[in-house]
Structure 1
């Protein structure tokens, strides 16, 4: 008996020691690294990596997303043609040394853009227009290799309106800090990172600076993506002398110091683009049409110039004018300095004549606002969709004090105010005009969604609403792809039969009342805007749509 007891004790100790060993081993084991954010928080020294670029919606322009690739893109298993192999083996002007694994990554991007992503690359070509020849000329004048200009395809697909969630903007995807450092103004009125002509010059200067720092174009390109600090520290710690040597030694760095996979593949992606651009005809791409593009000329506009009036005088739509002038964030130029606008070259003289006339006087198209009792800068700014700092600046005011009867200049006459509203406010205004359903008392977006077959998310988006709770009886909603008659007919389905105003009796609950009328208790909660925690008291009135 004692022997069995001792045996059990020994077995118990063995199990206990095994458990403790497992716990200690798991505690000492290296923890898996957290996934790296696709769009990291930017710091001045290291511009954030751009992996997803979207076009910011301004002045009603549709959003246009630049395709986000897997890193590297998946192989479609389709072999390269003879022409594609020849194009892939094209020697470039910049000397390059890489191992087989790096060549494989170049091939993966090359294959993606010539196969699955062919339409994407053709779209890049279709919109670069005169921007590519202009940027090429700038890079050539500043002494950069001509091929470096193709970096714009990697950054944004030559999309002047591109805006990343990390805060980078424009064709060359400048972060705010770097953009200001290279002379690109950014404020409430204008963002010159989105000026494809000025930003091309700034990008050339920045790339030339990076080349002077590293003495290698591929390291300069990598630093353009990851930041010179990141690349410089990685080079110092690994002793690498070239970009591809750095990627091969990347594993020797600490997790924090290592180059992200996107940065490691940034240069191979660029090389794939260059090889394609050198062989467009051989690969069957339609080259960028620079001949058919309308010639554009720069022109200086005084502070506060009414840009909408300028566009109207030139007999071109605001959309067309805006596509030529993507840097402007408002329909009025910055009030305190001259800015550069671009107009069709054949209308340059007419534009000059307009700017010299009284019609372009500063603040034309603005409104003169008389301060009312109880007004504040915040209330006025919120009412007109203008930041308080901007209101004070344009009115040359520093004090927070306002006197009734005082006059303020506010951007936003009837013709221009819509452009300064938030996108959501603008959507609400349009929805009110197009409204095809009047909200009834007791309606919820869920009811309307179920009756019309349009999702709640779509209803929120189409009407510029933040929350499904904000519905007022008598207000209008725009329900996409529905006529008024159809909506009225569908909405009436939930109210077939009679509407009962039921008074709650002692001891009743939502469940017992629902059973009495043969309806779902969830419907009663929804019709009366109650929650499951709501308490019913005798005498309370409920609206019930009885069958």
Structure 2
């Protein structure tokens, strides 16, 4: 009976697979795995996976053939333009099918022209990448009963780039600041930054958007608050006498936010009318249909995976951007579930060789990522007037090259006052060179610290091992509301 079922499945599978064209070939061949003494995936299970993929995705085939997509027969270099009345009508139609009110005005019109003319290459690229990310966005939006059009937001935020970091420190596809990410429950440490995790950051972003909409009961205000923060929106509402309408309060908002909503509307419009504007997706390397995740049980370096399975290190890094140092840390009895994203074609091979991968050691699989930051604390440093990367490096006893690496700063990139920098400082080793920590030892076991401009109790406590802001407040009989004035001395228990 089992043999008969297998025969039917194989015949049916071959028929379906004959019609199915995979997006790309596997990272490696089964022959190369066998040659290296590595186990291959079970061929019958591999066939069932391919059969399932063919049946699901052949019902909704994706094409990147411009001849098929160019329904208006435009010349490839043509940039179509439409009258204001047509653009207005199309945006009104979009509003009919969305809780978000799409508006046509001069600002939106300018943004449509900007993206439609000057950013065509970027739009084509993100249209291709959308095949990897949009199905996930749509599933989460549907689960939370939010407008599907919100899937266009990360295009405006980051052009769907998981590793991008703004000058202000906002990170990932959804551009979360450090504090917002932590508030939303995202893990951010020396090895993992879940702001860069496409799945977890998407869930956090949708949770945050739902919260903002509940606060304002207006999607444009919620989107503006996502960009500028609720505090700025509330101040703008107060300045305009309590008006709760984005277009009415826009001039009380930062310039970036004033352009944010028109940009969102322009991107949503152009992706809904891509054929009308002669826009076509660039074929991506990965689509949602040919990637999957596995749970990692032990700490693992990406080199272990690439060496054992002969796969591309670059692709593993691209699919797993949340692991900042190509290393997945797993603690003993860790309740946190860490996953690894791989092409579907490699999932079976990974599971078949899981023990070998965990135990694999060679000169290229270094323990450096584990030891390098084990005794360091992660500090968020706010740049002050007159500071340079070199001066900050001296303060924290780290190298300039390390600060540039941690913060994606090129040698040509300047830092500016107010910018937040991530520093991995060795515990209790903040230097007095070039950036003095004003204290002096006394005979009774206390240090006396001289307050500098911009200091907070939290900042000061971070400089001394085993000392908290509460410890400083109790010892000095001050409250959290106490204003720290430059030159003021506070007592700190020596450790």
Q: TM-score with structure 1 length normalisation?
A: 0.49
Among 107, 112, 124, the alignment partner of 2:109 is 107
Counterpart residue number, 2:375: 389
Distance 2:274 2:191 in 1: 39
User: Alpha carbons of 1:213 and 1:243: their partners in 2 closer, same or farther (altered >3 Å)?
Assistant: same
Q: Is the 8 A contact 1:305 1:363 kept in 2?
A: no
Deviation at 1:360, TM superposition (A): 0.3
Q: Is the 8 A contact 1:88 1:107 kept in 2?
A: no
Deviation at 1:108, TM superposition (A): 0.5
Among 167, 170, 173, the alignment partner of 1:168 is 170
Moved segments of 4+, more than 4 Å? 288-292, 361-369, 421-425
Counterpart residue number, 2:308: 313
| Residue 96 of structure 1 pairs with residue 95 of structure 2 | no
Q: Is the 8 A contact 2:129 2:284 kept in 1?
A: no
Distance 2:277 2:83 in 1: 7
Counterpart residue number, 2:187: 185
Cα shift readout 1:117-148 (whole Å, capped 9, x = no counterpart): 22232233233331122112211221110001
Counterpart residue number, 2:226: 224
Q: Secondary structure at the match of 2:329?
A: coil
Within 5 A, what are the aligned runs for 1:173-252?
A: 173-238=175-240, 239-247=242-250, 250=251
Counterpart residue number, 1:415: none
Within 5 A, what are the aligned runs for 1:339-358?
A: 339-355=338-354, 357-358=355-356
Q: Is the 8 A contact 2:126 2:281 kept in 1?
A: no
User: Alpha carbons of 1:208 and 1:362: their partners in 2 closer, same or farther (altered >3 Å)?
Assistant: farther
Distance 1:161 1:291 in 2: 17
Q: Is the 8 A contact 1:235 1:246 kept in 2?
A: yes
Cα shift readout 1:203-231 (whole Å, capped 9, x = no counterpart): 11110110001000100000000001221
Counterpart residue number, 1:484: none
Q: How many residues align?
A: 297
| Residue 328 of structure 1 pairs with residue 331 of structure 2 | no
Q: Is the 8 A contact 2:100 2:220 kept in 1?
A: no
Distance 1:329 1:322 in 2: 9
Counterpart residue number, 1:266: 260
| Residue 301 of structure 1 pairs with residue 301 of structure 2 | no
Q: Secondary structure at the match of 2:165?
A: strand
Deviation at 1:311, TM superposition (A): 2.8
RMSD: 3.5
Q: Secondary structure at the match of 2:372?
A: coil
Q: Secondary structure at the match of 1:164?
A: coil
User: Alpha carbons of 1:216 and 1:340: their partners in 2 closer, same or farther (altered >3 Å)?
Assistant: same
Deviation at 1:292, TM superposition (A): 6.7
Distance 2:299 2:225 in 1: 38
Within 5 A, what are the aligned runs for 1:475-486?
A: none
Q: Secondary structure at the match of 2:305?
A: helix
Cα shift readout 1:465-515 (whole Å, capped 9, x = no counterpart): xxxxxxxxxxxxxxxxxxxxxxxxxxxxxxxxxxxxxxxxxxxxxxxxxxx
Q: Is the 8 A contact 1:191 1:327 kept in 2?
A: yes
User: Alpha carbons of 1:312 and 1:333: their partners in 2 closer, same or farther (altered >3 Å)?
Assistant: same
Counterpart residue number, 2:358: 360
User: Alpha carbons of 1:198 and 1:363: their partners in 2 closer, same or farther (altered >3 Å)?
Assistant: farther
User: Alpha carbons of 1:367 and 1:272: their partners in 2 closer, same or farther (altered >3 Å)?
Assistant: closer
Deviation at 1:152, TM superposition (A): 0.8
Distance 2:102 2:134 in 1: 28
User: Alpha carbons of 1:95 and 1:205: their partners in 2 closer, same or farther (altered >3 Å)?
Assistant: closer
Q: Is the 8 A contact 1:304 1:332 kept in 2?
A: yes
Cα shift readout 1:145-171 (whole Å, capped 9, x = no counterpart): 000110111100111121112111111
User: Alpha carbons of 1:359 and 1:385: their partners in 2 closer, same or farther (altered >3 Å)?
Assistant: closer
Distance 2:156 2:361 in 1: 40
Deviation at 1:333, TM superposition (A): 0.9
Within 5 A, what are the aligned runs for 1:321-470?
A: 321-336=316-331, 337=334, 338-355=337-354, 357-361=355-359, 386-387=372-373, 389-390=375-376, 422=402
| Residue 284 of structure 1 pairs with residue 288 of structure 2 | no
Q: Is the 8 A contact 2:158 2:174 kept in 1?
A: yes
Within 5 A, what are the aligned runs for 1:123-162?
A: 123-162=125-164
Q: Is the 8 A contact 1:169 1:193 kept in 2?
A: yes
Distance 2:328 2:219 in 1: 38
Distance 1:195 1:210 in 2: 22
Deviation at 1:276, TM superposition (A): 0.6
Larger Rg, first or second structure (1 or 2):
1
Greater shift, 215-224 or 334-343, is seen at 334-343
Q: Is the 8 A contact 1:83 1:282 kept in 2?
A: no
User: Alpha carbons of 1:87 and 1:311: their partners in 2 closer, same or farther (altered >3 Å)?
Assistant: farther
Counterpart residue number, 1:64: none
User: Alpha carbons of 1:260 and 1:310: their partners in 2 closer, same or farther (altered >3 Å)?
Assistant: same
Q: Is the 8 A contact 1:185 1:192 kept in 2?
A: yes
User: Alpha carbons of 1:424 and 1:117: their partners in 2 closer, same or farther (altered >3 Å)?
Assistant: closer
Q: Is the 8 A contact 2:79 2:278 kept in 1?
A: no
* Structure with greater contact order relative to length (CA < 8 Å, sep ≥ 6): 2
Distance 1:184 1:148 in 2: 21
Cα shift readout 1:415-469 (whole Å, capped 9, x = no counterpart): xxxxxx95989xxxxxxxxxxxxxxxxxxxxxxxxxxxxxx99xxxxxxxxxxxx
Distance 2:159 2:123 in 1: 8
